[in-house]
Amino acid sequence: MVLGKQIEWAMHCASFLASLPEDMAVSVNVLAEYHEVPRDYLAKALQSLAKAGIVKTTVGPRGGYTIGRAAEEITLLDIVESVEGEKSTFSCTEIRQKGPCKMEEKAYSGVCGIAAAMYRADHAWRESLRSTTLADINRSVNRVVPAEQKRKVMAWLEGKLSSKS
C-alpha cells in the first residue's frame, strides 16, 4: 500500500512545467537531469501524463514537454490516476459468499459492509487529492523559494536549450 516513486517524479515534473512559460518545451533529458532521476524511467511517467492530457509533447529538435492545460485545472488526483491507474485501493472478493455457510446468491444484493467502509476511505483519499491543484502547489512553492533561485533555474534551463541548437 505504498505509491511508487513515479508519482513523486510526475508531480514534481508537472509542477515544474506548469511554472514555466507555456511555449517553453523541456525534454526528458533536461527534466531527468534537473531532478536527478533515471531518464528512461522518468519518460514512462511522462508518457502516462501525456496520455491523460496533463502534459503535451512536441517532437523534433527544441521539442519536449509542456503543460497540457491550466494549472488550476490539474488536480493531484489527475496525476495519481494517470500514472497509477484508477483502480480502487481495496478490492472486494466477496468472501462472504464463499464457504460452507453461504446463502443463495440473490440474498447478497447489497454491498458488503466492510467493502463499503473501505470504499468510503478510498473516496476520502481521492477527494483530498482532487481538492488540490497544481496552481495551489506552485503558489505554496513560490512563497518559500526566493526569486533569485528562480532566475538561477531559468538561466540554467536556457543554457541547456541553447547549447543544443
Partner DNA sequence: GAGCTTCTACTCGGATACGCCCTGTCCGAGTCCGGCAGG
Partner DNA sequence: CCTGCCGGACTCGGACAGGGCGTATCCGAGTAGAAGCTC
Interface residues with a second copy (CB under 8 A) are: 1-5, 7-9, 11-12, 15, 33-37, 76, 80, 84, 87-93, 95-96, 98-101, 103, 107, 110, 113-114, 116-118, 120-129, 132, 136-137, 140-141, 144, 146, 149, 152-153, 156
66 binds DNA (CB under 7 A): no
Name the residue type at position 3: L
Name which position in 35, 53, 62, 150 contacts DNA (CB under 7 A).
62
What are the phi and psi torsion angles at 55 (to 5°)? -125, 155
Residue 25 near residue 65 (C-beta atoms within 8 A): yes
CB 84 within 8 A of CB 1: no
Is 58 or 108 the residue whose CB approaches a second copy more closely? 108
Q: Which does 159 bind (CB under 5 to 8 A by kind): a second copy, DNA, none?
A: none
Beta bridge partners of residue 127, listed in sequence order: none
Among 5, 102, 120, 151, binds DNA (CB under 7 A): 5
- Between the alpha carbon of residue 21 and those of residues 9, 38, 82, 139, 156, the distances in Å are 20, 25, 24, 16, 15
30 binds DNA (CB under 7 A): yes
Stretch that binds DNA, among 42-50, 68-76, 102-110, 119-127 (CB under 7 A): 42-50
Whole-angstrom distance, CA of residue 74 vs CA of residue 151: 25
165 contacts DNA (rule: CB under 7 A): yes
Which residues neighbour 152 within 8 Å (Cβ) at sequence distance 6 or greater? none
Cell matching residue 22:
507555456
The entry of a second copy, DNA, none near residue 38 (CB within 5 to 8 angstroms by kind) is DNA
Q: How far is CA 4 from the centre of its chain?
A: 11
Q: What are phi and psi of 26, to 5 degrees?
A: -125, 130
Which residues contact DNA (rule: CB under 7 A)? 1, 4-6, 27-30, 38-41, 43-44, 46-47, 50-51, 57-65, 84, 164-165
